Amino acid sequence: MSETQFLFAPPPRPSVAIDGEIERFPVRRIFCVGLNYAAHAREMGKDPGAEPPFFFSKPADAVVVSGTVIPYAPMTRNFHHEIELVAALGSGGANILRTRALEHVYGYAAGIDLTRRDLQKQARDEGKPWDLAKGFDQSAPIGAIHPAARIGHPNSGRIALSVNGALRQNGDLADMILDVAGVIAELSRYVALAAGDLIFTGTPEGVGPLVPGDRVEGDIAGVGEVSLGIAH
C-alpha cells in the first residue's frame, strides 16, 4: 500500500499537554459556546432569556501552549480575555444523548477564548459573520488537560482570571446555562463530534481588555490553570 504523496509537508498537528502523561492530546477542531453564563450575556447587552447559547469555532492551530508570551493581536484596539472550561473529547458522534454525553469527554482544561471585541461588535451590528473576531492566530491559549478519569466531571467550582495579579473574572461553573453534557448533546445535533475536538464552554462575567505587557492567569478549581503573557 502506497502512502499519500503531498505537494508539501503537511503542517504539524496542533496538540495540548496532558497532565501526568507523556502523550499529547492531538487537536482536531475547536468549538466554542457563546453566551453560556447569564451575567456575561447581560454584560454583552444581551437578554439571556431571549438569546440561548450558540456555537462558533476557531481553527485548530489557534491553540497556544500555556505560559507563552504572544503578541498583541493585529487589527484590534479592544483585545479581550475570556476564561473558559474546555472539554477535550476522546470520542464523539452525532445526536449524542445528554445522558451519554460525558462518556465522550477525555478530560478538562482551563482555556482563554481571546476575542477582538471591536471586530465582534462591528460584525454583529452589521449583520456580518464574526469569524475573524474569534478565530485568529494564537486565539486559544490552553493549559494542560486533566483526564476525567482522575478529576471527574466538574459541574461546579470557581472559574477565575486575573491580569497582573488583579482579579477580573470570578464565576462558578454551576452558573453555566448549558452544562458540559448539554453542550455536547446540543452541538452534536449540528456536527458529528470526534476524538480530538476541544469545546470552549463559555465565559463568566468580567471580560475585559488586555494591553501590551499584561500577565494573565486563569484558574478553574479542581481542573487546572492557564497563563499567558502579552508582549510589550
Q: Which residues bind Mn ion (CB under 5 A)?
A: 82, 113, 203
Instruction: Considering the complex, state which of residue 24 and residue 123 has its C-beta at the smaller distance from Mn ion.
Output: 123
Instruction: Considering the complex, state which of residue 82 and residue 197 has its C-beta at the smaller distance from Mn ion.
Output: 82
Q: What are phi and psi of 173, to 5 degrees?
A: -55, -25
Supply the minimum distance, in Å, between the C-beta of residue 35 and Mn ion: 9
Reference 148, options 19, 37, 26; nearest CA is 19
Question: In which element (H, E) is residue 81 found?
Answer: strand 79-81
Determine the distance from the C-alpha atom of residue 223 to the mean position of all C-alpha atoms in its chain, rounded to a whole number.
Answer: 14
Instruction: Considering the complex, state which of residue 53 and residue 147 has its C-beta at the smaller distance from Mn ion.
Output: 53
Supply the minimum distance, in Å, between the C-beta of residue 229 and Mn ion: 20
**Residue 217, burial from CB neighbour count under 10 angstroms (0-12, 13-18, 19+):** buried
Using CA atoms, how far apart are residues 20 and 146, in angstroms rounded to an integer? 8
Supply the minimum distance, in Å, between the C-beta of residue 36 and Mn ion: 8
Q: Cβ-closest residue to Mn ion? A: 113
Supply the minimum distance, in Å, between the C-beta of residue 205 and Mn ion: 12
Instruction: Considering the complex, state which of residue 40 and residue 146 has its C-beta at the smaller distance from Mn ion.
Output: 40
